[in-house]
A and B are shown apart, each in its own frame.
Chain A
Amino acid sequence: MSAGGADLSALRVLVVGAGPAGTRAVETLLAHGVKPVVVDEAPRNGGQIYRQPPPGFRRPAKALYGFEAQKARRIHAVFAATEGTLDYRPETLVWNLSRNVAFTLDDNGLAELPYDALILATGAMDRTVPLPGWTTPGVFSLGGSQVALKYQGCAVGRRVAFLGTGPLLYLVAYQYARAGAGVAAVLDTASFGDGLRALPGLAASGTTLLKGLWYRERLRLAGIARKSRVTPLAIESDEGGERVTALRYRVGRGREKRLACDAVALGYGLKPETQLAELAGAELAFDGRTRQWLPAIDDDGRASAAGVYLAGDGAGIAGADAAELRGELAALALLADRAVTVSARRMVALRRRLARFARFRAALETAFPYPARLAPALPDETIVCRCEMIRAGEIRTAARELGATEMNRCKALTRLGMGRCQARLCGQVAAEILADATGLPLAAVGRLRGQGPIKPLPIRLAHLADEPAPGEAA
């Protein structure tokens, strides 16, 4: 079918990611007669926020997604309705992009997918800051702690300390308490004053603020201690280093405290997965407010590279509701750029609603600011790069004694970021430490360049890029 006179039969559109943004993008393309190829790492659509448990789990949507159950069901329904008609490739990783070809890996091996236009809806992961002891078993990311509950029906410990900042901190702590898990305390690096300053902007959001207050009130009623202005100091473990025993911290300038716990859920907001955007040729720009490098996009999600569109938290954190709108808008922009008739009114309405989300996001960043003071204060012996075991002191030595003033130089000198996670966990934090050690602004020390493969390939397959490869667990 062609829409608005444009011949779409030969147009190859690739959508990467099937969370709220990718799902709405797919739905929008289908509604205009374009059948995309959809690649997603998960077995079922929904992304992290609306992640569906494996077959055989029985909790209803309300138990899994709470207030967001209706939204989750709607997102899942979009893909259910396309069953058998859409070229949908779950459990498939796009590990590289080059010259309008996506390189994929699934259980059957490697494949190449040429495309004319690309929508990246790659999502986000937890933004964490290391602390001494954080590699001990029992320390998990905050989002991961939520995944354990949502996807597996498990708590990450018997007495879990929630450490970090942001709305997710309170949400997951509440979900744990409600599921009967032991919550040791909620320790927030933000201050009450941060929250007050953000209040006008948050109030404009209506229900989101109310939900946040409701989670906090529920935690209070459950008798769970909540501290703000927290500075985390260290995670203590038993002699063998195999189990968490306590979290040491300070409130404001107060004396050191010790919270007994057997697990820590750690997260200071989210960071976008920008690796594929970068490989697709999208320029990144430094965002001073969140102290992160984000893909440069226009209001509709167009990246600086032609034919590349970004949507959802992978294009800068704005949350799941905004992600649905951004997915639709990016798809409409793609279609409009291909001379397909789309509703200009709908695009205007989406932009207007997204502008409201942007104001709300700014207020959230004020209420729960990324604690930039933590990374520069880390003791030298703190492991920053978990994969290659690079400590904070080695970054400082590279800066002060070896003249590293830029992140890629720091990487070459220390091996930081060369490991299997491809700097997802250490890159931003190392930049904060390097900037502090050199006295340069954070933007000036740059960032680690993304490169393929963005996730490790099975060693056997990496040599076989042009040959059919036998299945191998990845």
Chain B
Amino acid sequence: MADGQLVRLTETERPAVTIHVDGAPLAALAGDTVLTALLTAGRRLRQAEFGDGARAGFCLMGACQDCWVFLETGGRLRACTTLVSEGLRLRTLDEPA
């Protein structure tokens, strides 16, 4: 998409994978991290818990934990180290208690 934070430069010939984010389908590529899938299509991964606004991860290597997103079923995953898979359903709008 045109308005993502991340820009695909190369390696775009991978098979398509569809995930769902907040109920809507999102086209990704096999081998994308969840972070790549979300940030090539948009600008954020989540809202910070304490109200300072949007977050989109930071370290991209599993250290800062700033890229958590939640499964529709309630579990969480670290977007920078989790690869997309067909049928993955995420929610980013709010965080379960």
Interface residue? B44 (CB, 8 A): yes
Asked if residues B10 and A144 are in contact (CB atoms below 8 Å), the reply is no
Asked if residues A155 and B82 are in contact (CB atoms below 8 Å), the reply is no
A242-B44, A420-B65 given; A458·B75 CB < 8 A: yes
Identify B31's interface contact among A53, A138, A242, CB under 8 A: A53
Interface residue? B20 (CB, 8 A): no
Asked if residues A144 and B59 are in contact (CB atoms below 8 Å), the reply is yes
Interchain nearest-CB distance for B61 vs A (Å): 6
Chain B residues near A240 (CB-CB < 8 A)? 53-54
A137-B55, A149-B9, A241-B53 given; A56·B30 CB < 8 A: yes
Interchain nearest-CB distance for B37 vs A (Å): 10
Chain B residues near A386 (CB-CB < 8 A)? 48, 58, 64, 66
Asked if residues A473 and B10 are in contact (CB atoms below 8 Å), the reply is no
Interchain nearest-CB distance for B85 vs A (Å): 10
Asked if residues B14 and A57 are in contact (CB atoms below 8 Å), the reply is yes
Chain B residues near A387 (CB-CB < 8 A)? 65-66
Bound state CA distance, A114 and B56, in angstroms? Answer: 38
Interface residue? A54 (CB, 8 A): yes
Which of B11, B13, B57, B82: most chain A Cβ within 10 A? B11
A interface majority secondary structure: loop
- Binary CB contact string for chain A from 138 to 153 against chain B (1 if under 8 A, 0 otherwise): 1111011101110111
A55-B31, A241-B54 given; A140·B7 CB < 8 A: no
Interface residues on A, range: 35 or more
Bound state CA distance, A456 and B65, in angstroms? Answer: 8
- Binary CB contact string for chain A from 52 to 80 against chain B (1 if under 8 A, 0 otherwise): 01111111000000000000000000000
Asked if residues A152 and B36 are in contact (CB atoms below 8 Å), the reply is yes
Interface residue? A424 (CB, 8 A): yes
Interface residue? A348 (CB, 8 A): no
Interface residue? A355 (CB, 8 A): no
Asked if residues A137 and B61 are in contact (CB atoms below 8 Å), the reply is no
- Binary CB contact string for chain B from 25 to 57 against chain A (1 if under 8 A, 0 otherwise): 000001111001001100111001011111111
Interchain nearest-CB distance for A175 vs B (Å): 11
Identify A138's interface contact among B43, B65, B78, CB under 8 A: B43
- Binary CB contact string for chain A from 417 to 447 against chain B (1 if under 8 A, 0 otherwise): 0011100110000000000000000000000
- Binary CB contact string for chain A from 283 to 325 against chain B (1 if under 8 A, 0 otherwise): 0000000000000000000000000000000000000000000
Interface size on B, residues (CB 8 A): 49
Interface residue? B77 (CB, 8 A): yes
Bound state CA distance, A143 and B80, in angstroms? Answer: 13
Identify A153's interface contact among B8, B68, B77, CB under 8 A: B8
Asked if residues A242 and B54 are in contact (CB atoms below 8 Å), the reply is yes
Asked if residues A424 and B8 are in contact (CB atoms below 8 Å), the reply is no
Bound state CA distance, A145 and B35, in angstroms? Answer: 13
Interface residue? A376 (CB, 8 A): no
How many pairs of A and B residues are in contact by the CB < 8 Å rule?
Answer: 153
Interface residue? B21 (CB, 8 A): no
Asked if residues A141 and B58 are in contact (CB atoms below 8 Å), the reply is yes
Asked if residues A139 and B11 are in contact (CB atoms below 8 Å), the reply is no
Interface residue? B63 (CB, 8 A): yes
Interface residue? B92 (CB, 8 A): no
A383-B52, A389-B50 given; A421·B12 CB < 8 A: no
Bound state CA distance, A458 and B81, in angstroms? Answer: 15
Q: Which residue of B lies closest to A420 (CB)?
A: B65
Identify B6's interface contact among A54, A125, A148, A458, CB under 8 A: A148
Asked if residues B59 and A141 are in contact (CB atoms below 8 Å), the reply is yes
Interface residue? A180 (CB, 8 A): yes
A58-B11, A383-B52, A472-B75 given; A143·B6 CB < 8 A: no
Bound state CA distance, A420 and B46, in angstroms? Answer: 15
Interface residue? B23 (CB, 8 A): no
Chain B residues near A421 (CB-CB < 8 A)? 63-66
A472-B75, A474-B78 given; A153·B12 CB < 8 A: yes
A135-B52, A153-B11 given; A144·B36 CB < 8 A: no
Bound state CA distance, A91 and B56, in angstroms? Answer: 23
Bound state CA distance, A69 and B71, in angstroms? Answer: 38
Identify B60's interface contact among A144, A241, A242, A455, CB under 8 A: A144
Which of B14, B15, B43: most chain A Cβ within 10 A? B43
Identify B5's interface contact among A138, A389, A455, CB under 8 A: A138
Bound state CA distance, A156 and B6, in angstroms? Answer: 5
Chain B residues near A139 (CB-CB < 8 A)? 58
Quick one: which of A359-408 are within 8 Å of B by CB?
Answer: 383, 386-389
Bound state CA distance, A472 and B43, in angstroms? Answer: 27
Chain B residues near A155 (CB-CB < 8 A)? 6-7, 9
Bound state CA distance, A421 and B12, in angstroms? Answer: 32
Interface residue? A23 (CB, 8 A): no
Bound state CA distance, A327 and B33, in angstroms? Answer: 30
Name the 7 nearest CB pairs between A and B, nearest first.
A144-B60, A137-B56, A153-B11, A420-B65, A473-B77, A54-B31, A389-B50
What are 11 A-B pairs at a CB distance below 8 A? A126-B59, A138-B43, A155-B6, A157-B5, A157-B6, A181-B9, A242-B53, A243-B43, A458-B76, A473-B77, A474-B77
**Interface set of B (CB-CB < 8 Å, partner A):** 5-15, 30-33, 36, 39-40, 43-45, 48, 50-66, 68, 71, 75-78, 80-83
